[in-house]
């Protein structure tokens, strides 16, 4: 395994940041400084970052149904609860991407930096599905415009999958990850979001997981996420 990938899997940082750490000369392998992120390791070597031994900890991926007012960070110094606090794990976990504090639903937390990077990077176009309640009835024209893509201040959106669930409720699937994108898309067609719940992330579905609860993904589900992110 490449040293950069080894550090990412050990929970040190994402692969890109791990490669930067290696290139800066902060990593030793069996006492020898290594600056090449492609340097091969088997896992039996003593790897240190800034003199601290690194052990490849078991990788975990959790699904969480994030409630309102919980923030999508690894820690929260303010009054709000951090999403990782909802998961009963002793490992160093962090969320995959973000879900706004005023949004609810499916978010992943993990210590697998490489998987997290691939799932959240726009290049891999991993789809995310949302159940959206609107402030006023959704017209056929609104659905059509959202499906085709709308113009936002940071450029046009890609086509989306949109279906009506009720008079003022739709399901939207997008493969982009812009800040508050679904809310801004609704405003672009003359409506507004009153409630936003993420119900799908790649091949995963929230299902009946109650708000505030969590579930450890099995190997099959994690393997499907890797396929969602274009690996295999």
List the catalytic residues. 100
* CA 224/CA 210 separation, integer angstroms: 23
CA distances from residue 109 to 7, 9, 68, 96 in whole angstroms, order as listed: 18, 14, 17, 6
Say if residues 110 and 116 touch (Cβ distance below 8 Å).
yes
- Per the listing, tokens 């959106």 go with 157
How far apart are alpha carbons 132 and 117 in whole angstroms?
Answer: 26
- Sorted by sequence, the CB contacts under 8 Å of residue 38 that are 6+ apart come out as 2, 3, 4
> In this structure, how many other beta carbons lie within 10 angstroms of the beta carbon of residue 139?
14
- In angstroms, rounded to a whole number, what is the distance separating the alpha carbons of residues 151 and 158? 10
């Amino acid at each position: 395994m490449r040293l950069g990938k080894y550090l990412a899997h050990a929970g040190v940082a994402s692969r890109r940041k791990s490669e930067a750490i290696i290139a800066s000369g902060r990593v030793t392998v069996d006492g020898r400084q290594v600056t090449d992120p492609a340097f091969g390791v088997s896992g039996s070597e003593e790897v240190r970052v800034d003199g601290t031994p690194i052990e490849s900890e078991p990788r975990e991926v959790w699904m969480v149904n994030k409630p309102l007012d919980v923030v999508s960070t690894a820690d929260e110094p303010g009054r709000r609860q951090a999403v990782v606090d909802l998961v009963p794990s002793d490992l160093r976990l962090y969320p995959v991407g973000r879900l706004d504090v005023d949004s609810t639903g499916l978010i992943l937390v993990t210590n697998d930096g490489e998987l997290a990077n691939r799932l959240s990077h726009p290049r891999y176009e991993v789809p995310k599905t949302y159940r959206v309640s609107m402030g006023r009835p959704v017209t056929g024209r609104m659905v059509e415009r959202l499906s085709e893509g709308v113009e936002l201040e940071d450029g046009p959106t890609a086509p989306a999958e949109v279906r009506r669930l009720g008079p003022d409720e739709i399901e939207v699937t997008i493969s982009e990850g812009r800040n508050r994108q679904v809310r801004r898309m609704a405003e672009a067609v003359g409506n507004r979001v009153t409630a936003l719940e993420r119900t799908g992330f790649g091949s995963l579905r929230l299902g009946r997981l109650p708000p505030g609860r969590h579930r450890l993904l099995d190997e099959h589900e994690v393997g499907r996420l890797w396929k969602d992110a274009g690996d295999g």
